Amino acid sequence: MSIASPVRTPALFISHGAPPLLDDERWVGELAALATALPRPTAILVVSAHWESAPLTIGSTDPRTPLTYDFWGFEQRFYDITYAPPGATDLAQRVTALMPDPMVVHHDAQRRLDHGAFVPLTVMYPDADIPVVQISLPTLDPTALIGLGRRLRELRDEGVLILGSGFTTHGLPFLTDPRPDAVPPGWSQEFDAWTAERFAAGDVDGLIDFRNRAPGMPYAHPTIEHFAPLFVTLGASDDPGQIPDQVIDGFWMGLSKRSVSLA
């Protein structure tokens, strides 16, 4: 009996949300529908806004390693969340081999998935039966991150879902209304609209220079780590300048949850 070849996966950038995302029925429905529409991955490689470490560091592939509960001030039920998919040991080895100098790739056996990974994955793949490994953001430079994504691109031919997890706007210090359905501030609306236009135009140069060109800055991203995973996704696509499928839009707590899928 022949074994079917893996189906090539897209590359995703999603806005992941804080743990209370799990209480938002609309957003949960959107993420679940997105996962249902995708080919089932053989494994998932996550790069999250919440892990910056240079050189490139690969997290634990042991499902017994505790999750990284990197958030504060929430209800206890959010710290009781568990998610223990199989460890993607083979994928970790492949990632190492794809780097220009595998000898300088680090491995952190104490760090597993942070909330930028496990919160959306509990919605998208709740059975936790797909191997997952997380890698760090080794830099915040958009061009370098596109280069990293380019090195990872061939994993998609092996059925690996490359998932950049951030937030299209993340100006938390400037939010004044904590309700999920809060009217988004002007800076969030402006940055979101500009990003949607850049995606629709395939303007990767504009996206790379978002700190100088985008309206709403620096309020939309007083620090830039939540936009940075987008560039890994762009690099992992067939063409960073392609027009992506904008799979989720709208706002949550005034922040843009715009998310894209790229072939």
Domain-embedded: residue 6: no
Using alpha carbons, list the distances in angstroms from residue 225 to 17, 164, 230, 240. 14, 11, 10, 19
Number of domains in the chain: 1
pLDDT level of residue 4 (50, 70, 90 thresholds): low
pTM of the model: 0.95
Domain-embedded: residue 209: yes
Residue 224 has pLDDT above 60, yes or no: yes
Domain-embedded: residue 1: no
- CA angle at residue 67 from 71 to 117, to 5 degrees? 75
More confident position, 82 or 4? 82
Structure tokens, 113: 């998935």
For residue 191, the enclosing domain spans 11-262
End-to-end distance of the chain based on CA atoms, in angstroms?
A: 30
Give percent above pLDDT 90 in the chain.
Answer: 90
Identify the sign of the CA torsion 143, 144, 145, 147. Answer: positive
In terms of phi and psi (left: phi > 0; alpha: psi -120 to 50; beta: otherwise), the region of 129 is alpha
Domain-embedded: residue 48: yes
Per-residue pLDDT, 120: 96
Per-residue pLDDT, 103: 85
Domain-embedded: residue 3: no
Please state, in angstroms and rounded to a whole number, the distance separating the CA atoms of residues 145 and 21: 27
- Tell me whether strands 57-59 and 106-108 are parallel, antiparallel or unpaired: parallel
In terms of phi and psi (left: phi > 0; alpha: psi -120 to 50; beta: otherwise), the region of 25 is alpha
- Helix axis angle for 229-236 and 142-152, nearest 10°, is 40
Mean pLDDT computed over 77-89: 93
Structure tokens, 181: 């359905």
Mean pLDDT computed over 218-227: 98
Mean pLDDT computed over 50-79: 94
Domain with residue 59: its CATH number is 3.40.830.10
Domain-embedded: residue 160: yes
Q: pLDDT tens-digit profile of 155-204? A: 999 999 999 999 999 999 999 998 989 999 999 999 999 999 999 999 99
Q: Across the chain, what does the average pLDDT equal?
A: 95
Domain-embedded: residue 237: yes
Domain-embedded: residue 23: yes
